[in-house]
Each structure stands twice: as structure tokens, then as C-alpha cells.
Structure 1
Amino acid sequence: MQEASQAIDKQYNYWRTRILYALIIGYASFYLVRQNFSLAVPSILDEFGLTKTQIGWILTAFSISYGICKFIAGCICDRSNARYFMAIGLIGAALVNIGIGFSSSIWMIGVFYVANAWFQSMGWPPCTRSLTQWFGPKELGTKWGICNSSREIGAIGILIAAPWLIQHFEWRMAFIAPGIACIVLGLIIFERLRDNPKSLGLPSIEEKEQLPESERTDENERISYREIFFEHILPNKPLWHMCIANFFIYVIRMGFFNWAPTFLKETKGISLAHAGFQMSSFEFMGLIGGILAGWFSDKIFSGRRSAVSCLYMGVLALCLLFFWMSPGTIPGLEFILLSLMGFLLYGPQVLVGVAAAEFGSRKAAASAAGLTGVFGYLGGAFSGVGVGFLADTWGWNAPILFFLGSAALGTLLFLINWNKTQANSKLELSEDLATQKA
């Protein structure tokens, strides 16, 4: 019996490591064919003679499409094989990026970029499904933070590569070269990934770790869409709080994601390569902030993801206030503030996903995370055309104030859920459902 248990532990450790690094490489690859657009924006503005508001509409269309598709993709992924799902999404995103590189009009670029949103929406749901299937609640926050570092790894890679490609070739190569690379990476991910433990003849995570009843789900992993929505999503109040908080996180995140290179180039007069370097520090510190947020929520706050997020967002609001008030004459101050804001922004962004997956249960984890994505990218939609319009009309100070207000509202929403954990939120949801049926 003991030998069998040791054999299972050995297999679990091997597959957990393999699944985790495959997810990191896979989702980092999605960013190679996603964040390249923001770096190409200054060149696209010049070539096609567009205003920031006009290019903002393309960014907004992407965000709306991505948010809607992410929820749909999450629902489908909960009933699908994560291995196939991620590989198909990455290869599809690679192909439409190559299409952007060969486009001759802004309309073609816009159509391809919005099409990219659908394939991009297939990137994170397999991560959500795999993480909740392979890791228990006591380590999920930490492993989620580690996996979430894939965003920053991919972003740093393209923030360094794209300016070089644009400088030595032209902006189109920033789409074509990553697209070709991601076709190869998609095939590698398909070979490395597997679905859940039971697909490999291993016990489920509940069985292996002998989780208490309050943290278990039943063995039926392929539940109906109706049950997902009406029993795990619609009546789940803590989940909806996370959704609205994510809206405000993404107002800020996508604002920096889409507009920071243009902002730094126009207000600081620095080169695109230097702007890419500064944003690389933003992403690198975000990587550290996300991992530490997961660890804090696991080890210090006993699974209270909202408590950690509240603290992060509160300090982020203060940093945005300092960024707005900074005189711009102190060498390196903005660089330091940008790095610190990256650290603070990505902590709540990581933990919203963890909390949503836990509040939704393993059976509907990808759907719950997908719903937070809908709200997140509605916030991103506001940042697309909203930041462009504010900058065109009142200058760059107006978007900074917009981000400051969003951080303050996000802090309040996390405060509402300060003490929520997977166990007490599941109990609360069960009681609500029982009351409705009575």
C-alpha cells in the first residue's frame, strides 16, 4: 500500500512539474502574438495618419471581443481537453498575426486583430482548468502565481524583441516573426500538455490529498452548461464582486498594456526601445508581485485572496497619486513608480483568477474565471477608446486620474470580500441554493 502511494506521489510530482512548465511556456507564447500590437501603435499611427481615438476603437473592439469570447471559451474548456484547447488557440493566434503583418489597410488590421481576440481567449481557460485539477487549495494560490508569471515572461520577451524588429526591419515584422515562432511553440505545447490526473490513470486531487468535504467536488467533471450557469455562476455573490473588481483592475492594466509605449514616447521623448525597456521592468516587477501575492494568500492570509488584493490595490492607488503629482524632474522617479505599480497591479490580477476558480468550484473553474475575464475586458474596452479620447482631449494627465479612480473603487470591492475563502463561500452558496429551493 505504501509503495503504491509512493508511486502515485512520484507520478504526480512528475506530471505537475511538466504541466506547470508547459502552461507557463504556452501562455507566455500567447503574449508574443498579443502585446506586439501596442508596440506597433506609434508606427501604425504614422503610416495610416490616425488619431489616438481611432486606434483606440480597434483596441476597444479587441477587448470587447476578447471578454465575451473568454467566457464562452471558459464554458467550453470546462467540458474539453485542455491540451487540444490551448494548442489550437495558440496556432490560430499565430496565423492571424501573420495576416496582420501582410495587411495593406487599417480595416484589414482591425479585422485580423479582433479575430486574434477569439484565439487569445483560448489561452487562459486551459490554465485555469489544469491548475485546479492538479493542485489543492493549500498551494493553488502559489502555483497560480507562478503560472501567471507566464504573462510577464511573454510580455518581457516581446517588449524586447518587437522594438528591435521594428527598428531593423519594419513594424510588420513584429507580427510575422512571432507568428511563425508561435506555430512551432503550439506544436510543442500539444506534445507536452495532458488534461487531468484521471486521464493518466491517477487519482483526482481530492482523492490524493484527502480534502475535507467542504473543499470537494463530486467526480462528475463534465457538467451541463445549465448547471454551470444556474448553480455555480448566477447565484454566486462573491464571484460577482470579483468580476466587478476585475473591471477596475483591467481599466488600469490594459491602459498601461496598450498605451504606455505611446505615452512614454510622447511625454518623455524617449525611443521605442527605451520605452520597451521601461515597460519590461513594469512586467518583471509584476511577475514578482503576482507570485508573492499568491504565496501571501496561501501562507499568511489562509486563502483570503481578497484581503491581499485589497492591500495591493490600496497601495497602488497611492502610487498612481504620486505618479500624477510627480514633477517629472527627479531622475528615475517615474521608472521606480512604474516598476512598483507593476508589482502592485499584477497581485490582484492573479488573485481574482484564483478566487473566481475557488468560488466557482473545480467543476466550473474555467467558466468562473472566464466570467471575470468578461468584466476585465469590458474595463479594457473603456481603456482602449477611453484613454485615447482623454489623451486627445485633455492630455495625458486625464488618463492617470482615470486609473486612480479605478484603483480606489477596486480597493473598496476587495474590502467587501475581505474574509471570503473557498470553504466559507461554498457553504454560503449551498445555503443560498437550499433557501431558493425550499
Structure 2
Amino acid sequence: MRTGGRPAGTNCWPTRCRCPMPSPCPRTCRLSSSGSRARGSTGSSVGSRTTMRSRGPTWPNGSSRLLEVISSSSSRPGDCNARPIETSCDLTCLPGPQMTSPAPPLSSSGAARSGENRTIWVIWLVYGAFYFCRTNISAAVPGLSESTDRGGLGFSTEQVGWILASLKIAYGVGQLVNGQLSERVAPRILLSIGMFCSALLNITFGLSTGFYFLLFVWAANGYCQSLGWTPCVRVVGNWIPLSRRGWALGVIGTGYQITLGLTYLIASESADRFGWRGAMFVPSALLGISGVVMLLTLRESPAGGRIRESLDDASHELIERPGVRETLYLTFYNPTLWLLGLSLGLLNACRYGFLDWGLKHLMEVQQTTIGKAGLKYCVIAVGAAAGSFLAGIATDRLFGGRRAPVIAILLTILGLATLLYESVSRTSTTGTVLLLVVIGFCIYGPQVLLVGTAPVDLAHRGTAAAAAGFVNFIGYMGAATGDVVTGIYSSGSEDSWQVTIYIWASWAFAAALTTGVLWNTTARQVGLLPSWLPKMIAMVSLLTAAGVLQLAGGPVWLTAGIGLALVLVALSGVERILPLAAAGLALAGLIGLFIVPLGSEDLSGWLIVVSRVSLGLATLTALMVFVEKR
């Protein structure tokens, strides 16, 4: 290892290392501390690991650095013999009296500094306030489907379902985009755009009447809502040391649970007094006021710079991480993430059944007003806060950090409670309130584990953030599908709500079974999907979509485009860019299905939902074929 020269009387540490990675054996350079000072260069080899001690100056704290070169195993013996690899590091030097003098002070990660606790509570308010203009639409749903002569818009419940689904689709896409955006744009700017634009879009929604315009407005609101979480996480990372960060995020997490309950109270009472449009106007004012408070009180980072845990953090960039394409490959081909995403999608379908449609259900089965329904329904936040807090503790204390058992158990209880809720909600107000507390507990306990902890635990090294984003994306696609299905089944016959709630329960049971497959799975057991599987799924999905469109009398050009995408996927071995073009065609077909009317009105329900889901799955699996390692 060559460290290069340094000026006398300086404090130096590496800022850039180059680690050659000769084919066919990928290697990873990793820096780790050593307790003693190096006096020369030594090397030792055990199996596929070669450890080289650095020669030259010590680190400012008096310790040297070890460079570990780790060779991955190969299927062919002899391919990856461990051997020293010449590695060069540049040094950044600051003036100092001697080599071992203290380094420039970093922000302490010990006791809370001035402003930390205030920042936590400001973020608690800011992110929680986003829910004023997200959950409030549940109080407007009855008005959207009410007849025009009674002040409603006269939409069918299926149309209302698509409006609700548009927010989830845009939110899921926004989660994928904003993770990168939040690293480049100041948090106050992103939060300002998200909060003020969401408030304005809610006001616009309340002033509008056309279905397609409302669909667009609520989708735009979904993207603005997605600007809330990632900037908040960045501010927390700037202010709060790792030793207190878990506690801080736990406190912040209670904010949106409390706001959830407040939104039911405020929005339902506003709708009761001012009509369904009041459910859009009053929460918008609250979000706007919260945005002003954010601008006045939020500081993005401490005056002395963001928290730095140690010198390891200063040289964090020395750790080699996968590139974008490899990150996508390790994420898309991780089978556990697909199972977690499917489980979260099923849970979200059930979750948003209660959150988006619950007030309308109570109004109809209990023959009550929207205000009284909201008063009963707000207790779901009590169970939600308790479930969010206790689920993580249970995984650590009862199952040794394994998340799947707790998730599966709570989802099973959720399915049983949902089945019981269907009959109890018709006969007992007290029973309804108690069951809503249990349902809130069993929804948000698994949800907080599935959106963050579980995917991070089971992600491949260096892909934790991408894994969490991928699972969340699939989860919101499931939520969107659930809203549409609920809209289709919740109107018509007298027992429509009974059938709908049984569907919610089936989603909870299916999510429990899906997660149960991972009961004993740990990170060491995570592998990769076979390369042929995404290609096969993409082709089957495209065939399904084309067949359904033929039955439903879809336009010929749309069917032809899907057929061309099928051919491109089949020829993916010829040219690498072909599956990317196929993904683009599948996505264009998916967008077209939302715009182009179909010829057969009788087949525009379930079959069209199937075709849309098939095209969405084809888009994702075609991208998997594109990023596949060859």
C-alpha cells in the first residue's frame, strides 16, 4: 500500500483510494482501525482474504489503518487465489505540530446538543402535518359519490377508487425519485414545495368537478406528498447522532399517527358543517400554517456542521459501493424483497381499505353522519401508535431480531379482526371502537417493519436504501390496486360491503402467508433469482395483457405495441438495449389504458384491472432483464 509523501508537521488521513478489481474475481477494499502503530508493510493470507498493514504515517489518533482485500469465491477452483493488491491512497493534510496531534474536532455524538430536541419536534410537526392533506379525502369520499342534487359529484365508487389510487401511484413513483433528489436539493426547499403545493392542490380539488381533472390533481398531490419523508430523514441525519437516531425516529413516527386521528376528526367535522368540500379546505389551511412554522423554525444542520460520528465517517467514501446498475441488479433479483413487497402491497390494500373507505362504510351500515363516523374512527390512531412502537421491541426481544414472525402473527390477527369487524360494525358502537383500536395496532405494527427494518435487514450489502425504496414502491402499487378493487365491489347489492370487507380480510391473510415464508430467513441465506425467471414473467404478463385487450375490444395499435414488446423481450439475448425498449412500450401501454376507452363496457371491470397489473409487472420485469448481469 503506497501512502505517498506528506509535509512535515501535518495531520493526514486518506481521502481517496483506488482498489483494482481484476477479472474474474471482484474484490472489495475495506478500511478498518488497528490498535497499534504500523512499522513497515506486512501481509497475511487466510483462505480468500488478504490483509495488508499500511506503511508510513499513523492516523491522527495514533492508530494505523488496515486495508483488507477480500476476494469473492469462484465456482472454478483456482480462479480467486488471495494475493496482495497494490492500492494507492491520496492524503488530505492539515497543518499541525506533529503527526499524532488531535484531528480537527468533529461534532460530538454524545449528549444532546442545543437545538437537537427542538429539531426532533419540528420534524415531528412537519411530517405529521402532511397527513392533513392526504388522509382528509376519506371524509370527502361520501360526497364524491353522492348525487349532484344533494351536493355531491355523482361519481361511481369505481371512479372514486381510481381517484384514490392515483395518489398512491404518484406517491410510489415519487419515493423512487425523491431519494436521489433529496441528496441534491436543500430540505427546506423540498419541504416548502411539498407542503404549500399539497395545500394548494387540496384547495383546487375542493373547487373542481370533472373526473379526469380531479384524477390529475390528486395524482399531483401524491407526488407533493412524497416530498415529505426523505428531506426529514436528511435533517435528522444532519442533527442527530447514531446513538440517539433510533429514539428520534421513533418519536417522529408518532407524529403522523396522531395527525391521522386528528385528520379524521377535523376533516369529518368540516364535511359535516360545510359539505364534502370543507374536508379539503380546512386541512389545507392547517398544512399551510405548518409550512410557515417549518420555514421559521427548521434549521437544516447545526451551526458547526452535520453530525460526524468518527473519522470513519469522514472517510466513508473509501468503502466501495455498487454502481447504479449493480444496485438495481442486486435489488431486483433479491427474492426476499419481492416477498416483502408483495406482503406490504397486500397489507396496504387492506390498510387503505380502512383508511380511505372506512368513514363511508360506517355512514352506510350505521346510518350515521360523517361527523359522528369520524369521531368513532379517530381511535384507529391510538392502536396505530401503540403498534408502531411495540412491534420493533417484540422482534428484538422475542425473535432475536427476525421481523417476519411478528409481521405474520399480527397480519393473521388483522385478518381475524377484519372478519369480526364486518358483523360488529353493524350492531355495536362500543365494539366497533374497540375493534378499530385492535385493527390500527395490527396494521401499523407490521407496516413499520415492512417499510424500513425488514428490507434493510435482508438487503444485499450496499443496497439498503434501494431495497427499502423498492419494497415501498410495490407496497403503494398494492394500495392503488386495493382502492380500485374496493371501489368496484363496495357498490351494487345490499351485501356489497360484506363482500368488500371479506376481501380486505383475505388480503391480510395472504400477506401473513407471504411473510411466513421468510419466518426463519436471515441475511446470510439471501440469494439471487435465476436469470430466466424475469424474462419468463415479462413474456407471460405481456401475453396476458394482449389477450385481455382482445377480449375487451381494445384498440389494435395498443395490442400491436404490446406484441412488439413481447418480441423485444424474447430477443433480449441478441441486444442488451431491447428489454429497455420493451419496458418503455409496456409502460406506454399502461398509460394508454388509462386514457383510451375500451369497446366492451361489460368487460371494463376486473379484466381491465388484470391488464393494467400485467403491464405494470411486465414493465418491471423487462427492466430486470435489462439490468441482469451477463
TM-score range, shorter chain: 0.7 to 0.9
| Partner deviation per Cα, 1:43-75 (whole Å, 9 max, x = no partner) | 222221222122112112222222222222234
Residues 420 and 329 of structure 1, relative CA distance in 2, 3 Å threshold: same
1:38 alignment partner in structure 2: 138
| Partner deviation per Cα, 1:255-300 (whole Å, 9 max, x = no partner) | 1111001000001112111111122101221111111113323454
| Partner deviation per Cα, 1:141-196 (whole Å, 9 max, x = no partner) | 66544333232222112111112222333332332332233233224334545567
1:65 maps onto 2:165 in alignment: no
SS class of match (2:473): helix
Aligned positions, number? 423
1:407 maps onto 2:508 in alignment: yes
Tell me the CA shift for residue 79 of structure 1: 5.3
Gaps of 5+ in 1: 209-215
1:368 alignment partner in structure 2: 467
| Cα distance in 1, alignment partners of residues 191 and 414 from structure 2 | 32
Tell me the CA shift for residue 359 of structure 1: 4.3
User: Matches of residues 122-137 of structure 1 in structure 2 within 5 Å?
Assistant: 122-128=227-233
| Cα distance in 2, alignment partners of residues 192 and 297 from structure 1 | 36
1:282 alignment partner in structure 2: 380
One-letter code aligned to 1:43: G
Alpha carbons 1:217, 1:361 under 8 Å: kept: no
SS class of match (2:490): helix
Alpha carbons 2:268, 2:370 under 8 Å: kept: yes
Tell me the CA shift for residue 330 of structure 1: 4.5
Tell me the CA shift for residue 199 of structure 1: 8.3
SS class of match (1:332): helix
| Cα distance in 1, alignment partners of residues 378 and 340 from structure 2 | 27
2:490 alignment partner in structure 1: 391
1:212 alignment partner in structure 2: none
Alpha carbons 2:239, 2:307 under 8 Å: kept: no
SS class of match (2:165): helix
SS class of match (1:396): helix
**Structure with more relative contact order (C-alpha pairs < 8 Å, separation 6 or more):** 1
Residues 199 and 95 of structure 1, relative CA distance in 2, 3 Å threshold: farther
User: Matches of residues 100-115 of structure 1 in structure 2 within 5 Å?
Assistant: 100-115=205-220
Larger deviation, residues 216-225 vs 331-340: 216-225
Gaps of 5+ in 2: 1-60, 62-101, 147-151, 531-627
Larger deviation, residues 187-196 vs 260-269: 187-196
| Cα distance in 2, alignment partners of residues 11 and 327 from structure 1 | 49
One-letter code aligned to 1:313: L
2:192 alignment partner in structure 1: 87
| Partner deviation per Cα, 1:221-256 (whole Å, 9 max, x = no partner) | 99864454234x224333332211110110111111
Identify the structure with the greater strand proportion.
2
Normalised by the length of structure 1, the TM-score is: 0.83
Tell me the CA shift for residue 122 of structure 1: 1.6
| Cα distance in 1, alignment partners of residues 520 and 395 from structure 2 | 11
Larger deviation, residues 32-41 vs 310-319: 310-319
User: Matches of residues 309-324 of structure 1 in structure 2 within 5 Å?
Assistant: 309-324=407-422
| Cα distance in 1, alignment partners of residues 207 and 158 from structure 2 | 24
| Partner deviation per Cα, 1:373-427 (whole Å, 9 max, x = no partner) | 2212211112212111111245101111111111112112222333456xx36x9
| Partner deviation per Cα, 1:81-106 (whole Å, 9 max, x = no partner) | 44443332222211211222322434
Alpha carbons 1:139, 1:298 under 8 Å: kept: no
SS class of match (1:48): coil
Instruction: Give me the CA root mean square deviation.
Output: 3.8
| Cα distance in 2, alignment partners of residues 191 and 420 from structure 1 | 47
Alpha carbons 1:78, 1:365 under 8 Å: kept: no
Tell me the CA shift for residue 310 of structure 1: 1.8
Larger deviation, residues 332-341 vs 171-180: 171-180
Match of 1:236 among 328, 331, 334: 334
One-letter code aligned to 2:165: T
One-letter code aligned to 2:497: W
Task: Please identify the structure whose Cα radius of gyration is greater.
Answer: 2
Match of 2:395 among 297, 302, 307: 297
Alpha carbons 2:271, 2:370 under 8 Å: kept: no
Identify the structure with the greater helix proportion.
1
Alpha carbons 1:59, 1:384 under 8 Å: kept: yes
Residues 54 and 338 of structure 1, relative CA distance in 2, 3 Å threshold: same
Residues 164 and 330 of structure 1, relative CA distance in 2, 3 Å threshold: closer
1:170 alignment partner in structure 2: 275
Instruction: State percent identity of aligned pairs.
Output: 27
Residues 347 and 366 of structure 1, relative CA distance in 2, 3 Å threshold: same
SS class of match (2:108): helix
User: Matches of residues 214-293 of structure 1 in structure 2 within 5 Å?
Assistant: 225-226=324-325, 228-231=327-330, 233-293=331-391
Residues 137 and 31 of structure 1, relative CA distance in 2, 3 Å threshold: same
1:211 alignment partner in structure 2: none
1:25 alignment partner in structure 2: 125
Match of 1:340 among 435, 438, 451: 438
Alpha carbons 2:139, 2:359 under 8 Å: kept: yes
